[in-house]
Structure 1
Amino acid sequence: MNLQEKVLAHKEDVVKGIQGAIQIPSVMEEAKPGMPFGEGPAKALNYFVDLGKKLGFKVINYDNYAAEIEFGEGEEVLGILGHVDVVPEGEDWQYPPYSGTIADGKIFGRGTLDDKGPAVICLYAMKTLLDSGVKLNRKVRMILGANEESGSKCMKYYFNTIKRPQPTLAFTPDSSFPVTFAEKGIIRIAVKKRYSQMGDLSVKGGNAFNSVPEKTHMTIALDQLGNVEEGLKKYNSDNEYKIECELKNGKYHFLSLGKAAHGSRPYKGYNSASALFTFLNTIEVKNSDLKDFLNFYAKYIGMETDGKSLGINFHDEDSGNLTLNVGKVSIENGNVELSIDMRCPVTISNDKVINTIKNTLNNNAEVDVLSNSKALYVPKDSFLVSTLMNVYRNVTGDIKSEPVAIGGGTYARQVTNGVAFGALLASQEDNMHQRNECLEIDKIDTLLKIYVQAIYELAK
């Protein structure tokens, strides 16, 4: 029986299934009775519940936090983890973001790549195996959550609150191929300082830990700075990203411009807040408290994205360098707060990073640890990784690619033996979390073949 040929019979249904899922806006909203993440995520979860029932699977919805869609027998379980929630749609789409429009050979819509599209594809791969009657020794259980993009409270409820069992082994189609065998540790801290004589100074930059701030605004009284015009002229002539300034109501109003990037890859962006503070250190600053802060920032952070000046520029062979992103900056009424996101090499403990920062700062600032997610690491020679690599190579013919480590985080962290596996092929444009997110229809053939073979090899 050729499962890879058989699964392609479902392609038309896959396309319709993805369109239907996309047409349900499922950004996290305010909780409602029986809908812990709002109406949209609950509706999206129930769309998959209904589809699973229609396809003949055993289905359970756990209070609209998560759902199981499964088939097969055996004590051991192969888990397939996906999520039905999406990030906000943003603006300026070519086609409406919740339309599931098909154009230019692509399905357009928020969630086509992350993660509704891959979840539908995996569901029909499961359907192919269910209908084939092939003997499997493990149950196959799709575990769908409704809150991956906003903290994965769905999986915490599923595994910790109602104590559903961990799968024996698992994958999540929520990254890229070939196999993500390691995910860096993620630490988020707030660095705080308090000044009594900063005056009427206000700074606001960025809106998320995991994004490089594209714009930073600052207002400050005229008499607190000198040589501004001359300094700006030099800075703007020397740098690609500019700082604008206007005089209004006796104050300087600065706008520092940078380049946004994902917080796990801050070196691909340009931090507008760091740039502003670097510029201010080149002109006359008359306020001693502001001067002290600028010196502090220059000494410990500056324009760095590797944490070198904090003593945390760790590196390992498997996952590369530590990255540091100052995602948000706030100064108001003398209260300074820096929101910092770090992605730590898999062989370096998060505690070592945190303790090093505290020792380096040596009481020069308060350090609040807001979240601390340990690294994921599954050896390349493990059954899980090696099996998935073989499937990927056999289906695609790509024998050069190797398992990868990433700075991002997936549901694989929620299980004891799991990795991310696809669904982004090397030939696809990665527009997850961006406008015009889309899935090329001709890629669905390859994805169906990969996932049906992967499920079979892991569960047989």
Structure 2
Amino acid sequence: MKQAHFKKLIQPNKELFYQDLAQLIAIPSVKGQAQVGAPYGIENKRVLEKIMEIAESYGFKAHLVDDAVAYIQVGEGDEYVGIVGHLDVVEAGGKWTYPPFELTKANGKLYGRGILDNKGPIFSCLYGLKLLIDQGYRFDKTIRILFGSDEESGSSDIPRYLNQEKAPVFAFTPDCKYPVVYGERGILNVVFETTLSAQSLALISEIDGEQGRSFVPDVLRCMVEGQALAVQGKRAPSNAPDLGSNGITLLAEKIKETTTNEELKHYFTWLYDCLHEKHLGQGLNMAWQDEMSGYLNVTPYLLEKTKTGFKLGLSVRYPVSFTQEQVMAGLEQAANEQTIVTLVRSLPSLLIDKNRPEIAQLTKAYDDVTGLESTPVTTTGATYARFLPNTVAFGPSFPGQKGIAHNVDEYMDESDLLLNMEIYMHAMLNLCE
């Protein structure tokens, strides 16, 4: 099958593709309270049921594993090539131009929560497989597409799946960037808890505003010595802090310039001097890097007043040649006095042999469609590849595209989404030769 033939398959079917994709976007599949038969909340279970309904309408037989992962399969073999994506999404906070849970086409772009991360890309794999099978193509290997429902909140759905099903012999997840991603940096979420006197704490209010570990906070407010302070930053994904403007450090700057209390001034000066626009760890004396994965990356994501002081949350993504122990030692050394550093989440780094023949097949699919000559890369992101053996990330963002997922007005260029489908069709054929 020629590349031009794939384009001719996709173009006349794209509106039907969008109609079914819109049904997935419409479900606000943000993790909710666990219920019987719905471990990640009713909406996350509902989106799994919807993808199964759509897949069955295409003629696939759909399966549900432990109410956590749905999958379809072509072929009967026990060993399978996998494609794994997720249908859960992060909250649609902030001010959106378009309804977040409605697929909107405008100015050559498709908008909606999950269009990029990850409903659009994983559904394009399913639809691309449908187009190939409708054309009569038969695969020499078993291929399975998995739809998860807890990637954004810890990926506990994958262990549930692996408790009942075999791991793939090889898989890719369309939930990162191109070209093939063979390495993912280690990730630590840490909390700095700093003790301040009751007299100082009485001079400042609670910090008001939306904060979470997946994004750079933007709008924050508080009262300091009777004065109302507010900042307007710019939201961005926590793994791309340079694309945002962090409300935490902006607020620290205002507080240190406003307060007459020496203890408050000292704390917020330390916070500002160490972290404001110092995304590469230089303010913490941790400007570390390696050749494979680049620089360490630091993002403040939480500032919270407690009964005894302040809690500061940091997301740290560290190069693959460094260890968790090295990073924690560096953070403890950089911490302000009267501060306890606590590790709250750890994802070790990941390295896959970039010379695996399957990686060469994915690279060929990408290069054949784009006309480029690519080599495998590493990422600051975290994907299912850390939890499912023999898995690499592959797409959907093209080089230079950053800061779209987890943001307001999440979008994909229409042409890019269709180009993804084309690449994934080539990838499925290549992997199943």
The TM-score by the shorter chain falls in which range?
0.7 to 0.9
Q: Deviations over 1:159-198 (max 9, x none)?
A: 3xx3422211111112232222222211001111222342
- CA deviation after TM superposition for structure 1 residue 37, in Å: 2.0
- Secondary structure, counterpart of 2:344 in structure 1: strand
Aligned residue number for residue 181 of structure 1? 182
Deviations 1:414-457 (A, max 9, x none): 22221221223459897433344344444454333211110111
Query: Structure 1 residues 457 and 297, CA, compared in 2 at 3 Å: closer, same or farther?
Result: same
1:331 pairs with 2:305: yes
Alignment of 1:261-280 (within 5 A): 261-278=236-253
Distance, in Å, in 2 between the alignment partners of 1:315 and 1:50 is 47
Deviation per CA, 1:275-328: give whole Å up to 9, x if none: 4444655678444x3355346546754653222343432101122111111111
| One-letter amino acid of the structure 1 residue matched with residue 302 of structure 2 | K
SS in 1 for 2:202: coil
| Residues 292-441 of structure 1 mapped to structure 2, 5 A cutoff | 292-294=266-268, 296-297=270-271, 301=275, 304-361=278-335, 364-399=338-373, 401-425=374-398, 431-441=404-414
1:30 aligns with 2:33: yes
SS in 1 for 2:216: coil
1:92, distance to aligned residue in structure 2 (A): 5.0
Equivalent AA in structure 1 for residue 325 of structure 2? D
Partner Cα distance (1:310, 1:421) in 2: 33
Q: Which runs of 5+ in 1 are unaligned?
A: 222-250
How much is the aligned-residue C-alpha RMSD, in angstroms? Answer: 3.0
Listed one character per residue, the Cα deviations across residues 115-156 of structure 1 (whole Å, up to 9, x for unaligned) are: 222222111222344456656443211111112222222223
Partner of 2:227: 252
Structure-1-length-normalised TM-score:
0.82
Residues 201, 218 of structure 1: 8 Å contact kept: no
Structure showing greater radius of gyration is: 1
Preserved CA contact (<8 Å) 2:192 2:335? no
Identify the range of structure 1 (427-436 vs 303-312) with the bigger mean alpha-carbon deviation: 427-436
Distance 1:427 1:307, change over 3 A: closer
Give the partner amino acid of 1:179: V
Deviation per residue, 1:15-63 (Å, 9 max, x gap): 3321222233322222333122222221211111122223333321123
Q: Which moved more, 1:413-422 or 1:150-159?
A: 150-159
2:211 aligned residue? 207
Alpha-carbon distance in structure 2 between the residues aligned to 1:301 and 1:114: 28
CA contact (8 A) 1:37 1:146 kept: yes
Using a 3 Å threshold, how does the CA distance of structure 1 residues 116 and 267 change in structure 2: closer, same or farther?
Answer: closer
Give the distance between the partners of 2:96 and 2:276, measured in 1 at CA.
36
From the superposition, tell whether residues 172 and 302 of structure 1 become closer, same or farther in structure 2 (CA, over 3 Å): closer
SS of equivalent to 2:145: strand
Alpha-carbon distance in structure 2 between the residues aligned to 1:456 and 1:354: 44
Match of 2:194 in 1: 193
Match of 1:63 among 56, 66, 73: 66
Distance change in 2, residues 1:294/1:142 (3 Å): same
- Report the count of equivalent residues: 427
Partner of 1:87: 90
Q: Is the 8 A contact 2:256 2:266 kept in 1?
A: no
Specify the code of the residue in structure 2 equivalent to 1:452. Answer: M
